[in-house]
Amino acid sequence: MPQGNPAQIPDDGLTTRQRRNRPLVIVHTGPGKGKSTAAFGLALRAWNQGWPVGVFQFVKSAKWRVGEEHALRVLGDTGQGGPVTWHKMGEGWSWIQRDQTDHAEQAAEGWAQIARDLAAQTYRMYVLDEFTYPIKWGWVDVDDVVSVLTARPGAQHVVITGRDAHPKLLECADLVTEMTKVKHPMDAGQKGQKGIEW
């Protein structure tokens, strides 16, 4: 795509403007770092355009203080861009047994809320952070996800992050980026740090 020009123009009956403004399903997957970071960059762009942004964060603990959450909430409250709504869907990790929470049930309810919001056109940009995991673990049905995303009304963009994205999800997406790891500080025994991981 040199200079932003597509390699081919499909014979789909759409004008250039109609094709340019089609809503996208975007997937950031792969073993490398930066999937969520890139998605939150898209959320910032959406906020700047004045679009309502809905963030649905799966897997990451509701107790974690996530830097992007604070920044986007503050920006959403300024009234200068679009409103930002943040939903945490519980811890999600099936092997953590700290409480009696049914993480599969929380994930299913989280997806049900997203489907309701898509039907109501609540947001213009959706960030479904770490959403590949509930699909991978069978907590959310991939066929239902694909059906809802494909049939969503209006001009709603959806970005999904997480490793091991299901092939059906990749097939339905308009844009798929695979983050690959070349080198990581954890390889040398360094744990995550403020300002980098959160």
- The pLDDT tens digits for 104-145 are 888 899 999 999 999 999 999 999 999 999 999 999 999 999
CB 27 within 8 A of CB 57: no
- Report the pLDDT value the prediction gives residue 3, as an integer from 0 to 100: 64
What is the pTM assigned to this prediction? 0.87
Of all residues in the chain, the percent with pLDDT exceeding 90 is: 58
pLDDT surpassing 60 at residue 167: yes
- Report the pLDDT value the prediction gives residue 16, as an integer from 0 to 100: 82
- Residue 198 within a domain: no
pLDDT surpassing 90 at residue 176: yes
Report the mean per-residue pLDDT for the chain: 87
Q: What is the residue type of 180?
A: T
Looking only at Cα atoms, what is the longest distance across the chain?
55
- Residue 192 within a domain: no
- Residue 61 within a domain: yes
- Report the pLDDT value the prediction gives residue 63, as an integer from 0 to 100: 56
| CA atoms of 26 and 159, how far apart (whole Å) | 4
- Residue 189 within a domain: no
- Residue 6 within a domain: no
Structural domain count, the chain: 1
Distances (CA, A) of 27 to 42, 76, 155, 161, 167: 12, 24, 17, 6, 11
Per mean pLDDT, which range of 34-38, 172-176, 180-184, 186-190 is the poorest? 186-190
- Report the pLDDT value the prediction gives residue 66, as an integer from 0 to 100: 67
Domain of 158, in residue numbers: 22-93+102-180
Mean pLDDT of 72-86: 88
| CA atoms of 125 and 60, how far apart (whole Å) | 20
Q: With cut-offs at 50, 70 and 90, classify the pLDDT of residue 20.
A: confident
| CA atoms of 50 and 81, how far apart (whole Å) | 4
- Residue 81 within a domain: yes
Q: What is the CATH number of the domain that holds 150?
A: 3.40.50.300
